[in-house]
Amino acid sequence: MSSMISEETVLGDLAELSRKTGLVVRSFDSSVTNDVFAKLEEFDSEERAETLNYLKHSLNETRASLGAEPVYKDE
């Protein structure tokens, strides 16, 4: 048995997450990730830290609403 997760499983999980939460999940690649980080660098470090904390908290809340464990346990 392979420990690799198939692309079909990931896509199915993302589709289910989208259906449950109403979020639109789009694929991304390294250029999208680089663009996001470049945009974040335009803001001051305190604002970035506040945004990151907000996003971590939101992710944990969303996962909890779906019955999953939090990703960030330091909260």
pLDDT at 2: 47
- The whole model's pTM is what? 0.46
End-to-end Cα spacing for the chain? 35
Tell me the mean pLDDT in the region 50-63.
91
- Residue 50: inside a domain: yes
Share of the chain above pLDDT 70, in %: 85
Give the residue among 66, 75, 67 at the shortest CA–CA distance from 17. 66
Residue 42 lies in a domain: yes
| pLDDT reported for residue 54 | 93
The span from the CA of 54 to the CA of 67, in Å, is 20
Domain count, the chain: 1
Residue 48 lies in a domain: yes
What residue numbers bound the domain in which 33 lies?
27-75
